[in-house]
């Protein structure tokens, strides 16, 4: 039974117990349907081997060898991860284009007696839906939470989400805090996987309610913001957090404790800034790393590196008419969140 997906939230997906991606592990790692498990019918090496035979020997020989490998891998999956499923289990399988790999696996599973579905067009059809979603204009009215580095924008957004506001945490989806020191454990998703995560977040929005996002550049770490969300960010009204440097530095030193635990990495990053700053600035920051003076380091980087860049970015995308929330301290983020919430109540989304 082939399933043609009409949207990312197609009700047909809910009719299956397990979504199985039969592609090679590297293909699955790059991107996959949400919640899918990877049961490859060809490993990366096997896929390369079959492709080489197809080109250098003949398509028939490639299919013959590929068929044997698919059968062996299918047997391993049935005896292993699938061994506990009863006769009522309904799997949905897909491969790259809904072709030979998923077709062969689906045939074997259906012969056992399971009611198997297959995604028509495979991952390629899913990817087309993702691209359409992230390239399209964002439906809800957008409000941007702005503020210089260390203003606790992400934490305040997450608290607003807990209070019932509609929020997309772009840095959470990108698994990166959006700064030179912002790498997170586990690394970033691929561009395609980031777009799939974003597309699913957009899919679930209420178009009648404002959407809150953080002010970002067009790039978060190594991933790029797709056109839809980026155009919404640069056109949206803003609420700007105005927080003194020392308060931001204290907050940053605390929230970046994981980065501070690796002084050698900090040294490499600071040293990479030499083309952008006078040598005495760089040397001073390196001495702060040596002495573990994280508040001073944060303050210095904010004054001389981050704040000037934020102001240039703001000059391009902020018309200056948005609300300003002045915070003397970030020691109580519930109070800060309430102040932003009050500004939201008076804000008119685009």
Active-site annotation holder among 53, 95, 168, 299: 95
Gap between the Cα atoms of 10 and 111, Å rounded: 27
| Helices assigned H by DSSP within 218-262 | 227-235, 245-255, 257-260
By three-state DSSP, how is residue 134 classified? Answer: helix
| Exposure string over 140-178, b if 16+ CB within 10 A, otherwise e | bbbbbbbbbbbbbbbebbbbbeeeebbbbebbbbbbbbb
Strand 219-220 relative to strand 223-224, pairing = antiparallel
260 tagged catalytic: no
Gap between the Cα atoms of 248 and 298, Å rounded: 8
How far apart, in Å, are the Cα atoms of 281 and each of 272, 277, 305?
Answer: 12, 7, 10
What angle in degrees, to the nearest 10, is found between the helix axes of 294-301 and 245-255?
120
DSSP for residue 302: I
Provide the annotated active-site residues: 95
């Amino acid at each position: 039974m082939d399933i043609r997906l009409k949207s990312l939230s197609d009700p047909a997906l809910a009719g299956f117990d397990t979504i199985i991606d039969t592609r090679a592990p590297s293909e699955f790692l790059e991107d996959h349907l949400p919640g899918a498990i990877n049961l490859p019918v060809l490993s990366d090496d096997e896929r390369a081997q079959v492709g080489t035979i197809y080109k250098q020997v003949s398509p028939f020989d490639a299919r013959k060898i590929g068929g044997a490998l698919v059968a062996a891998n299918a047997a391993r999956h049935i005896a292993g991860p699938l061994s506990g499923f009863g006769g009522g289990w309904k799997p949905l399988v897909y491969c790259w284009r809904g072709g030979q790999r998923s077709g062969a696996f689906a045939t074997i599973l259906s012969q056992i007696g399971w009611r198997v579905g297959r995604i028509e067009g495979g991952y390629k059809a899913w990817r087309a839906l993702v691209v359409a979603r992230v390239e399209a204009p964002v439906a809800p009215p957008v409000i941007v939470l702005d503020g210089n580095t260390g203003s606790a924008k992400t934490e305040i957004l997450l608290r607003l989400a807990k209070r019932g506001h509609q929020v997309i945490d772009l840095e959470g989806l990108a698994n990166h805090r959006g700064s030179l020191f912002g790498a997170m454990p586990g690394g970033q998703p691929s561009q395609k996987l980031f777009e799939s995560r974003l597309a699913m977040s957009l899919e679930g929005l209420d178009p009648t309610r404002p959407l809150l996002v953080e002010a970002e550049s067009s790039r978060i770490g190594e991933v790029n913001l797709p056109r839809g969300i980026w155009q919404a960010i640069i056109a949206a009204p803003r609420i700007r957090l105005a927080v003194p440097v020392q308060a931001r530095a204290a907050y940053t030193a605390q929230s970046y404790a994981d980065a501070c635990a690796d002084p050698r990495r900090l040294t490499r990053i600071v040293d990479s800034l030499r083309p952008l700053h006078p040598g005495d600035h760089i040397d001073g920051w390196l001495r702060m790393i040596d002495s573990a003076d994280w508040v001073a380091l944060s303050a210095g980087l904010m004054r001389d590196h981050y704040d000037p860049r934020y102001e240039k970015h703001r000059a391009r995308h902020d018309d200056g008419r948005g609300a300003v929330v002045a915070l003397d301290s970030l020691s109580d983020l519930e109070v800060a969140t309430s102040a932003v919430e009050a500004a939201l109540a008076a804000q008119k989304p685009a």
